[in-house]
């Protein structure tokens, strides 16, 4: 049994405490008490130096623990090894590709994968990496060269900031198929049947994905700004896009026109 220093959110304050990492759960006593059985944990999130732990009994009021990175890593790994989640022992590489470019020094790590309520966690002795389910763009079975052999892997693409990031999971093929099916089911809410977009909207979405801005799309497709706005509204309404910049359109006043004409006189 080990004890680690943390701060536990208690109403409108953060209470200093020592959390015992026990065989069946996390416990603390004193100024603030804590008793979290591992098997009751259904979700785990890490935001900065705060760990958010959701249990079956407290889905709407999760526990919040703050500490230094080293302590949080110990807590995360113990929770991921023991919590109520779909979990497998695997080799993984995450991130492997970022923005279409191989990540420098990316290596296969021996550890596990745990699928919780809000995210897919990769964890090893040294790392704990979360891919939010809401950011998963695609999951597929494919092959990848590992030590000179083409092996079956699960490929997971997700959005991080504006980049597409790829992770790979490697385990025996029969287990891999089960993992793939479970991950597809876990991210089913993100699927579309392909019939929601008309051809023009699908074309615009593809150009946005390729990195084109609004002006370039208008020129490429020879369509008006109003038509692009209509497509954008449709994409936003379907949850396929979000507004990042609102473009301001202006026209010159009489004073502005006079200034330009005077400035351009020879």
Sketch the domain layout of the chain as residue ranges: 1-84, 85-191, 193-265
What confidence score (pLDDT) does residue 195 get? 56
pLDDT at 72: 94
Min mean pLDDT across 51-55, 72-76, 137-141, 206-210 is at: 206-210
Q: Which CATH class is domain 1-84?
A: mainly beta
Q: Which two three-digit tokens encode residue 65?
A: 């623990």
pTM: 0.75
Q: Give the number of residues written for the chain.
A: 266
192 pLDDT band (50/70/90 cuts)?
Answer: low
- The mean per-residue pLDDT over the stretch 147-172 comes to 90
pLDDT reading at 171 higher than 70: yes
**Other CB atoms within 10 A of residue 73 CB:** 18
**What's the CA dihedral at 212, 218, 221, 223 to 10 degrees?**
160
1-84 and 85-191 share one fold: yes
Q: Looking at domain 85-191, which of 1.20.1250.20, 2.30.29.30, 3.40.50.300, 1.10.3430.10 is its CATH number?
A: 2.30.29.30
- The winner for highest mean pLDDT among 20-34, 118-132, 196-210 is 118-132
Who has greater pLDDT, 151 or 188? 151
Min mean pLDDT across 8-22, 110-124, 164-178, 206-220 is at 206-220
Question: Is there a contact between 28 and 18 (Cβ–Cβ < 8 Å)?
Answer: yes
Quote the tokens at residue 121.
């966690």
Taking alpha carbons only, the member of 118, 237, 103 closest to residue 164 is: 103
């Amino acid at each position: 049994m080990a004890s680690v220093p943390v701060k536990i959110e208690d109403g409108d304050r953060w209470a200093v405490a020592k959390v015992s990492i026990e065989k069946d759960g996390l416990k603390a006593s004193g100024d603030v008490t804590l008793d979290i059985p591992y098997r009751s944990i259904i979700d785990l999130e890490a935001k900065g130096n705060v760990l958010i732990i959701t249990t079956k009994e407290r889905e709407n009021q999760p526990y919040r623990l703050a500490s230094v990175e080293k302590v949080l890593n110990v807590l995360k790994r113990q929770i991921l090894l023991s919590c109520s989640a779909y979990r497998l022992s695997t080799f993984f590489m995450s991130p492997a590709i970022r923005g279409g470019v191989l990540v420098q020094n990316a290596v296969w790590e021996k550890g596990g994968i745990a699928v919780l309520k809000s995210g897919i966690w990769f964890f090893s002795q040294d790392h704990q990496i979360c891919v939010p389910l809401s950011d998963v763009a695609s999951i597929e079975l494919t092959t990848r060269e590992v030590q000179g052999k083409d092996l079956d892997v699960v490929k997971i693409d997700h959005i991080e900031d504006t980049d597409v990031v790829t992770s790979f999971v490697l385990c025996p093929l029969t287990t891999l198929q089960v993992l793939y099916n479970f991950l597809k089911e876990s991210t089913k809410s993100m699927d579309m049947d392909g019939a929601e977009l008309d051809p023009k909207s699908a074309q615009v979405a593809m150009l946005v994905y390729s990195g084109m801005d609004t002006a370039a799309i208008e020129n490429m497709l020879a369509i008006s700004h109003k038509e692009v706005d209509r497509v954008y509204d449709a994409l936003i309404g379907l949850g396929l896009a979000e507004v990042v910049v609102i473009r301001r359109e202006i026209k010159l006043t009489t004073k502005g026109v006079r200034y330009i004409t005077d400035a351009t006189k020879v």
